[in-house]
Amino acid sequence: MIAAEDKERRGLGRGLSALFGEGGQGAGQLGAQVTTTLPIDLLKPGKFQPRRHFDEAALETLIASVKEKGVLEPILVRDSTSIRGEFEIIAGERRWRAAQAAQLHDVPVVVKELNDQEALEIALVENLHREDLSPLEEAEAYNRLMRDFGHTQDGLAKSIGKSRSHVANMVRLLTLPQSVRMLLLEGKLSAGHARTLVSAENPEKLAELIISKGMSVREAEKLSKKPITKEKLKDDQIATENATARDPNTVDLENRVSDTLGLKVVIDEKGEAGVLSIHYQRLEQLDDLIQLLDRG
């Protein structure tokens, strides 16, 4: 029974491994795939690409690699549903952009017959595996799969190899005010911080306080649970001006670990030593953490 559940849980999460083999850059089973070369101008960005923002520095690094070595991993495409003779990119838009910038004329591709749901799912999983999506892009992709293709949170979680609580928490980010979502998009708030604001009063004001005070996720969670009055907000803002900020490097590390694990993380520095605390609220979260550590 456990083996069957594990197989279902991985589901789509192994989709790219099945397509491209386990070896990443064109290794594994890729040689057995129907790989071909297409003119670069026949490829168009996929309409189901969940990523909206591309890191310029990372793209420049990829461009340099493509100029030197070419595109090592084929781009996954399907026949265009709108223009005959063209191909829609399902996975590999960043490689396609880099190839364009490197002025390549042709790129290696794998052409697959995929329906819209499969196209969106594979595009989502590829970006999740590469950790390329921002929290909001991830949330929007989950929401689209549920809205357009009838996934439940539980079914979607099993398909992509995530916990149901992770999917639910990410989708809740879409309920935040636009101004708070912009702070998240700009990297001024982590996903962990943003989750504490979902059910809070005055999320916009609280977001400002979290940023100005350099709060940890745990501190933000405590703050969000307190009734906030206008007087309290004003007092906190005044106090912030004289407060000593935490080490920004520690705060950044805390946020990154928290986002990676999907749990509250607190780093308490004591000179050269320190304590890293990971907080969970349900046994399901602890189980997910143990599975993550087991996978290395």
Looking at per-residue pLDDT, the higher value among 31 and 281 belongs to: 281
Which pLDDT score is estimated for 210? 92
Residue 96, token pair as written in the block: 């396609």
Q: What percent of the chain has pLDDT over 70?
A: 79
User: Is residue 161 pLDDT above 60, yes or no?
Assistant: yes
User: What is the predicted pLDDT for the residue at 95?
Assistant: 93
Residue with more model confidence, 174 or 160: 174
- Average per-residue pLDDT for the chain: 78
More confidently predicted of 210 and 224:
210
Q: For the chain, what is the largest distance between any 2 Cα atoms, rounded to a whole number of angstroms?
A: 67
pLDDT interval class at 228 (50, 70, 90): low
User: Which pLDDT band holds residue 229 (cuts at 50, 70, 90)?
Assistant: low
118-151 pLDDT per residue, tens: 888 888 877 777 666 788 888 888 888 888 888 8
What integer is the mean pLDDT of 215-221? 89
**pLDDT of 241:** 46
Spatial strand order of the sheet with 106-111 comes to 35-39, 106-111, 75-79, 87-91, 43-44
Question: Residue 80: phi, psi to the nearest 5?
Answer: -60, 140
* Rounded (5°) CA angle 113-117-121: 95
Q: What average pLDDT does range 86-105 have in this prediction?
A: 93
Confidence bin at 33 (pLDDT 50/70/90): low
**70 and 104 Cβ atoms separated by less than 8 Å:** yes
Beta-carbon contacts of residue 65 (< 8 Å; ≥ 6 apart): 98
Q: What is the Cα–Cα distance from 69 to 66, expressed in whole angstroms?
A: 5
Q: What pLDDT does 237 receive?
A: 52
Rama region for 228: left / alpha / beta (φ>0; ψ in -120 to 50; rest): beta
Closest CA to 76 of 118, 38, 110, 29: 110
Just list the catalytic residues. Answer: 93
* pTM of the full structure: 0.55
Contact status, residue 285 vs residue 165, Cβ threshold 8 Å: yes
Q: Looking at residue 257, what is its pLDDT?
A: 80
41 vs 35: CA distance, rounded Å: 18
| Structure confidence at residue 230 (pLDDT) | 52
- What distance in Å separates the CA atoms of residue 179 and residue 176, rounded to the nearest whole number? 8
What is the structure's pLDDT at 265? Answer: 80
pLDDT score at 126:
78
Report whether 55 contacts 131 (CB < 8 A).
Answer: no
Model pLDDT, residue 2: 36
Q: Which domains does the chain have, with CATH numbers?
A: 2-125 (3.90.1530.10), 176-295 (no CATH)
